[in-house]
């Protein structure tokens, strides 16, 4: 990973963590993390209590950008239906990249398996925010059961990310088509 001398050790650690944990998984060692960041282990432990805290902080730091890439902004035009479909269009678009490894929050939850882990807590909050965004759009679009639709959309979202992220599936419109069926069934306009 290329780091700049101007970035603080904390920022370099979080940048390296974001890249390494996404690419290689959460089992990456402290030594590899520090080497990639150009930061000593001593410095890392002065900044963070543990590698777990680095992972949690990196996930928390990237959450706003991750959501902004997927969710249409508040000033963007579009019906609730279009705004929901936009999310899945973005997933399909980014999933075509060879660097795509799926949703970093889902990956952290699956790898860690510990709901009390600091990174799991951050990841669950990110996933709940996505579900809430779907629920709000479902309500605005007149869905008969907005909470149920939000849960269904999360299943498609996570499933698409997981399957495309591990190379089992090329999305090629299948996620968007699936979501259209759900939106039609729920009565979302």
- Has residue 135 been placed in a domain? yes
The DSSP code for 67 is H
Please list the alpha-helical segments (H only) found in the chain. Answer: 9-24, 30-37, 41-47, 51-70, 80-95, 104-112, 118-140, 146-165, 174-186
- Has residue 1 been placed in a domain? no
- Has residue 145 been placed in a domain? yes
Cβ distance 81 to 189 under 8 Å?
yes
Domain extent at residue 99? 70-186
Cβ distance 8 to 24 under 8 Å?
no
Separation CA 15–CA 180 (nearest Å): 36
Instruction: List the CATH number of the domain containing 134.
Output: 1.10.357.10
Cα maximum dimension of the chain: 57
Confidence at residue 6, expressed as pLDDT on a 0 to 100 scale: 78
Per residue of the chain (189 residues), what is the pLDDT tens digit?
444 457 899 999 999 999 999 999 999 999 999 999 999 999 999 999 999 999 999 999 999 999 888 988 777 779 999 999 999 999 999 999 999 999 999 999 999 999 999 999 999 999 999 999 999 999 999 999 999 999 999 999 999 999 999 999 999 999 999 999 999 999 998
Confidence at residue 71, expressed as pLDDT on a 0 to 100 scale: 87
Closest of 137, 148, 150 to residue 76, by C-alpha: 137
Separation CA 150–CA 127 (nearest Å): 11
Distances (CA, A) of 179 to 25, 48, 107: 29, 41, 22
Collect all residues with Cβ–Cβ distance below 8 Å to 185 and sequence separation of at least 6. Answer: none
Residue carrying the six token digits 């599936």: 169
- Has residue 166 been placed in a domain? yes
- Has residue 12 been placed in a domain? no
- Has residue 108 been placed in a domain? yes
Question: pTM (2 decimals)?
Answer: 0.91
Reading the block at residue 48, the tokens are: 């963070």
Confidence at residue 5, expressed as pLDDT on a 0 to 100 scale: 55
Q: How many domains does the chain contain in total?
A: 1
The DSSP code for 27 is T
Confidence at residue 107, expressed as pLDDT on a 0 to 100 scale: 96
């Amino acid at each position: 990973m290329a780091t700049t001398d101007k970035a603080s050790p904390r920022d370099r650690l979080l940048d390296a963590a974001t890249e390494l944990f996404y690419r290689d998984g959460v089992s990456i060692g402290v030594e590899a993390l520090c080497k990639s960041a150009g930061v000593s282990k001593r410095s890392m432990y002065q900044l963070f209590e543990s590698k777990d805290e680095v992972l949690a902080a990196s996930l928390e730091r990237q959450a706003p950008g991750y959501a902004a890439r997927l969710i249409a902004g508040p000033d963007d035009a579009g019906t609730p239906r279009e705004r929901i479909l936009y999310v899945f269009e973005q997933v399909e678009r980014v999933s075509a990249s060879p660097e795509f490894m799926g949703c970093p929050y889902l990956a952290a939850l699956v790898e860690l398996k510990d709901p009390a882990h600091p990174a799991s807590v951050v990841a669950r909050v990110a996933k709940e925010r996505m579900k809430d965004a779907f629920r709000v759009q479902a309500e605005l679009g007149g869905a008969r059961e907005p909470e149920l639709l939000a849960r269904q959309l999360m299943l498609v979202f996570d499933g698409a990310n997981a399957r495309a992220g591990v190379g089992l599936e090329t999305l090629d419109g299948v996620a968007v088509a699936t979501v259209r069926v759900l939106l039609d069934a729920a009565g979302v306009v």
